[in-house]
Structures are given as structure tokens and as C-alpha cells.
Amino acid sequence: MSGGASVAASPQSWAACEPPVGPWAWANFRSRIAELGGVVLEPEWLGSHEPHRCRCAQGHECGPRPKHVRRGIGMCRICAGVDPATAWANFRKRVAELGGEVLEPEWLGAAKPHRCRCAKGHERRLAPNGVQQGGGICSICTVIPRSQQAWEAFRRRVTELGGEVLEPEWLDAAKPHRARCARGTSASRFPQVSIRVRAFAWNAWPKTRLPPGRASASG
């Protein structure tokens, strides 16, 4: 063509430019399928990039591409659990095993959030990939144990320092909790700091954290 103009190649022209394959490609594909316990149902070679009808060792009919099989990818999506129907069933089964329920009426995709309800009634949106890889189904429920552990660690640390926690319940790591030191002095302590201190006394704390009307050791 004159002027150096170029024309975008069509898929058919790209296919025509592929190097020819000999009978060995068809033979190798059938041999590899047989090694995987399957059988090729396709009567003829369609091309390395095209799906070929096969039956896997478990009896599932599938359509693997020769180029994928040659690279070590399995032949059956159902056995691998990646076909939509099987993935949908496995996701619902896993959520049920964790005590939850899938509220989404249909499969949206492995990476798409699906509406679910945990055993305690919290509704969340979960991606099947995360659940199948070992993730939980409720972020609310997983936070509660951590708060309980922090509450126990704070009370244990105050006890080790000879004090006593007066606050009846956990407020938050960044909020002051009423406590009494070994000398009987009451004050409000911050859990995230109390766990790291070496002494539980008035002079171990900034003046701003003393209760109203209490002077610091430095005057």
C-alpha cells in the first residue's frame, strides 16, 4: 500500500500468520489428556487456542484449550472448583460451615462482594475468594475477641502493678479507665499506655492526666 499506511490485522490474519503445526500437536494433546485420566471427545484438531471437547477422570465434560494443557493447567474447571456453578456451591457451603448464610440470590463472581449474614445476625458483603482462602465471614465478630483480649490484658497489667481497675467495662484503648493504685489513690488510666509503664503512681503520669484538683509531684 502506498504512503506507508498500515491496516490493522484481523484475528483471521493473525491466525494465518501463526506457524503451522504438525500432527504431533494433536497427538501430544490427546496423550496429555490421557495422562490426566481423561479422554478427548473432539473428532479433530481445532487449533491450539480453541477449546476441545473432553471428558475428565471424574466424568465431567469440559473444553480445555491445548495451549493451556501444554502449560500445565488442568483440563477440568469443575474439578478445579473455578467454574461458576461449582464455585457458587462451594462458597455457599463454606459460609454455612462458618455458621453463616448467603443472602445473595445468584453468583456474581469470585472477586465480587456477596451479601451474607453471620451466625450472630450481622449482615456483611463478602468476596468468595477471601472466604475460600481462609478469611472469616464477619469483621464485626472478629473485633469483639480482640477487645476482650485488650480488656483482660489491661486489668492483668494493673494488677501486676499492685493496682485495681474500677471501671466496670471496657471503653476503648484510647479512653481513660478509672483505676486505683497500690497506695489507694484513684485515677483514670489509658489502657494503651498502662500496659507499657513500669510503675503505677501519680508521678509516673503527665499532669494533664491527673484528676481535677490534684497537684503534680513537681508542684
Q: Could you say which DSSP state residue 40 is in?
A: E
User: What is the residue-averaged pLDDT of the chain?
Assistant: 76
Residues 71 and 115 in one domain: no
Residues 144 and 172 in one domain: yes
Question: Pick from 43, 63, 80: which residue ends a domain?
Answer: 80
At 132, the pLDDT band (50, 70, 90 cuts) reads: confident
Rounded Cα–Cα distance for residues 32 and 61 (Å): 16
At 169, the pLDDT band (50, 70, 90 cuts) reads: confident
If one counts the domains in the chain, the total is 3
Q: Could you tell me if residue 99 is inside a domain?
A: yes
- CA diameter of the chain: 99
Question: Pick from 98, 113, 137: which residue ends a domain?
Answer: 137
Task: Specify the pLDDT at position 189.
Answer: 63
**Range name among 6-15, 95-104, 134-143 with the lowest pLDDT average:** 6-15
- Residue 139 grid coordinates: 469483621
Element (H, E) at 154: helix 139-160
Residues 30 and 75 in one domain: yes
Residues 70 and 91 in one domain: no
Note the pLDDT tens digit of each residue in 106-128: 999 888 999 999 998 999 899 98
Q: Using alpha carbons only, give the angle 201, 207, 210 rounded to the nearest 5 degrees.
A: 60
Residues 54 and 88 in one domain: no
At 151, the pLDDT band (50, 70, 90 cuts) reads: confident
Question: Pick from 80, 98, 118: which residue ends a domain?
Answer: 80
Check whether 177 has a pLDDT greater than 50.
Answer: yes
Cα dihedral 93, 98, 104, 109, rounded to 10, equals -70
> Could you count the other beta carbons within 10 Å of the beta carbon of residue 76?
24
What pTM was estimated for this model as a whole?
0.44
Task: Specify the pLDDT at position 181.
Answer: 84
Residues 155 and 115 in one domain: no
| Domain residue limits at 98 | 84-137
Q: Could you tell me if residue 182 is inside a domain?
A: yes
Residues 130 and 155 in one domain: no
Note the pLDDT tens digit of each residue in 193-205: 554 444 444 333 3
Residues 131 and 152 in one domain: no
